[in-house]
Amino acid sequence: MRIYDRIIQCTNGRYGNKTEETSSESEGSTDSSSIMNEKINPSNYVTYECQHILFFSSFQLSFTLMFSLYCKFYVLAIFNTGLFLTSIIHWRKPTLGLRRTIDMTMVVMNFLMHAIHSFSINSMCFFVCICGAIFMTGLYLTGKKFNYNPYSTLYHLLVHTTGTMSALSIYYISKNKLIDHS
């Protein structure tokens, strides 16, 4: 049995569209019945390879943590630490459940704190924050469109990168603004 046929069988099993095998297919392969009989956990929503890519991409959140500590934005550093830890814990073994809910809640709280901080500094910071949030939301929704697809991993990787870059931009603008007024 070819790889493509195995992927189709696994995908059909995941979505609940189990198809009947013909006798020629079952004669040609000894392991095709094991694929259909294997239990697929519905709470796993990414493949093993995608899980590792997103797990390692979560470590880029440490850059925002280190730069917020360097810029002496300690409140934002606390939220960055929380987001970093929840992201690492979730992407270590991603399943739908409490860990994902806590991670998503931490993302929203981190965004709100960055928006409040940006609004209090100047309009340029707030503009960077809002543009980053809009772009990240678009990437997230596009990635959800390609669910169970390697493209969804790339889009989510871009979500992590965009969030990191926009936070670093906010810190850089804020640090320069605070230096100018001291």
Q: Mark whether 117 and 28 lie in a shared domain.
A: no
* Same domain, yes or no: 25 and 52: no
Whole-number Å distance between alpha carbons of 32 and 12: 13
Instruction: Quote the CA–CA distance of 104 and 93 in Å, as a whole number.
Output: 15
Same domain for 76 and 13? no
Clarify whether residues 27 and 108 are in a common domain: no
Q: What is the pLDDT of residue 144?
A: 86
pLDDT value of position 22? 42
Residue 7: which domain range? 3-37
126 & 94 share domain: yes
Q: b/e per residue, 33-57, with b = 16+ CB within 10 A? A: eebeeeeeeeeebbeeebbebbbeb
Q: SS3 for 96?
A: coil
Same domain, 11 and 90: no
Same domain for 53 and 33:
no
Residue 109, in any domain of the structure: yes
pLDDT of residue 180: 55
Residue 38's pLDDT is what? 42
- Number of compact structural domains in the chain: 2
Give the pLDDT means over successive 10-residue stretches in the chain (182 positions). Answer: 48 42 44 45 76 92 96 96 96 91 96 95 93 95 82 90 96 80 52
